Amino acid sequence: MRDIYQELHWRGLIYQSTDDAALPGWLAEKPRTLYVGFDPTAESLHVGHLVALMVLRRFQQAGHRPIALVGGATGMIGDPSGRSEERNLLSVETLRANVVAIEGQLRRFLDFDCGPRSALLVNNYDWMGQFGYLDFLRDVGKHFPINVMLAKDSVKSRLERPDGGMSYTEFSYMLLQAYDFVYLYDHYGCELQVGGSDQWGNITAGIDLARRLRSVQLFGMTCPLLTKADGTKMGKTEAGAIWLSPTRTSPYQFYQYWINVADEDVGGCLRFFTDLDAGQVTRLLDEHRADPGQRIAQRRLATELTRLVHGDEGLAAAQRATEIFFGAEIRHWRDDQLLAVFADVPSRELPRGRLDDSGLALVDALFEAGLAKTKSEARRTISQGGAYVNNRRVDDVDARLGPEHLASQSVMVLRAGKKRYALLRFVP
RNA sequence: GGGGGGUUUCCCGAGCGGUCAAAGGGGUCAGACUGUAAAUCUGAUGGCACUGCCUUCGCAGGUUCGAAUCCUGCACCCCCCA
């Protein structure tokens, strides 16, 4: 059994714990069972969830038993933690679909078949679903002093807002999560809960409840929020969150996100998100500093993470796409290869006939493909040297395109500027 | 209720009878440089059938050969006095 505490510590993954002094020894003593909860607020987890997920994974690798909890019940309520406004409730059907999707994603990170430390996947709806309201108030609610609840950051910060306020429903959230912890202790001997730093209040609520109901001392630990050097959140782009689901964030986009991580942030990311050990990370960063242009560290980060999240095929597709997006002329491809690589790129179908006779004006092609909002803009792009057909620059404003410009049987790859791509598919 | 100021192209903001598709800045787009970074530099930036034509300067009319610019009415905004 590896020293998980030491491991998490050097990786910078411990933000707060309920007992810094006792925890290392307690973990070293014997395999423990711990859990992390994920509420099904969307059909996919995103990079923000990745930190806790990786922690869970590391615990398992170190010989402990992880439980991934999907919040089928808590997701119905909505966690107020870290939120400035009341959540909208999700429909039951949406939740059910989200639970299934998220369970599938969790399976990639944990080993569910490795003997006593095999991971468990649980859904708190299974025990909360039939818990009667009166019973819950008597058995659980009775142990929550309102004054303590009101003092929690998640509640206090909301109530202090001028436009603030919070429904009774959200206020009750912490009771549910607290009870989860007790339930998992009862049924699986789970004694440690891990979560993001915004989960501290909910975690300690569970520890308090366990002390009152079972007279046991459970443990809690939170992970830091990984922020970028520029102060913004890691895992967000202007376009939104980076998701783990390939349908929401393609493997290529996912890979690119990590390739583009700033130099200042790449070390932290390697520690947080990869299994590389301290020596490997140090060596990689040294290498990177020697020749930053190579982006050695970012490449490694992107490779490791994309493989973990999207598998070998996903990684291969992302790398293939990367070569092409930043590579030379595209010709002699097959439709299916091209469409796979450019899966993220907007495409438009046009009748094959447009290529006949005098062909299709490049101006019109850029316009039809959506790379220019007007034909004037298309003309401008071309005359300024920003238009490319199959990655080959065309600067003749009057250029016309014929069948010889197809990159594959029916596809033409257009580009405006450095990286705005669009496909035109010529169909009968 | 009385007096004054304003409404300009994606945004801010100049223009106050022709040389105005309208200065300047921001943003955006392209190019160069570069590490698929940051910064910087250059160019472009109403539309189209693009050496020309059409549409824009709160809205509707009017004066004039000609209006974003002058006049009338309307709408909205701001300030001062009551």
A237 touches strand B (CB under 7 A): no
- The model's confidence at residue A43, banded by pLDDT at 50, 70 and 90, is very high
Tell me which of A277, A296, A325 is where a domain ends. A325
Q: What are residue A221's DSSP bridge partners?
A: A17, A194
Å between CA of A374 and C1' of B75: 33
Å between CA of A162 and C1' of B2: 40
Å between CA of A374 and C1' of B67: 30
What domain range includes position A50? 4-223
| A405 lies in some domain | yes
Question: Are A270 and A417 part of one and the same domain?
Answer: no
A386 touches strand B (CB under 7 A): yes
Å between CA of A236 and C1' of B36: 18
| A230 lies in some domain | no
A298 touches strand B (CB under 7 A): yes
* Backbone dihedral angles phi then psi of residue A414, each to the nearest 5 degrees: -105, 150
Exposure class string for A111-133: b at 16+ Cβ within 10 A, else e: eeeeeebebbbbbbbebbeebee
- The model's confidence at residue A230, banded by pLDDT at 50, 70 and 90, is low
Tell me which of A283, A306, A325 is where a domain ends. A325
Query: Beta strand A347-351 with A240-241: parallel, antiparallel or unpaired?
Result: unpaired
Nucleotides of B under 7 A from a protein CB: 29-32, 34-37, 43-50
Average confidence (pLDDT) over A397-409: 92
Q: Tell me the per-residue pLDDT of A116-174, one tens digit each, with 9 for 90 and over.
A: 899 999 999 999 999 999 999 999 999 999 999 998 888 888 888 776 678 899 999 99
Question: Are A371 and A302 part of one and the same domain?
Answer: no
Å between CA of A163 and C1' of B4: 38
- The model's confidence at residue A349, banded by pLDDT at 50, 70 and 90, is very high
Average confidence (pLDDT) over A324-342: 83
A260 touches strand B (CB under 7 A): yes
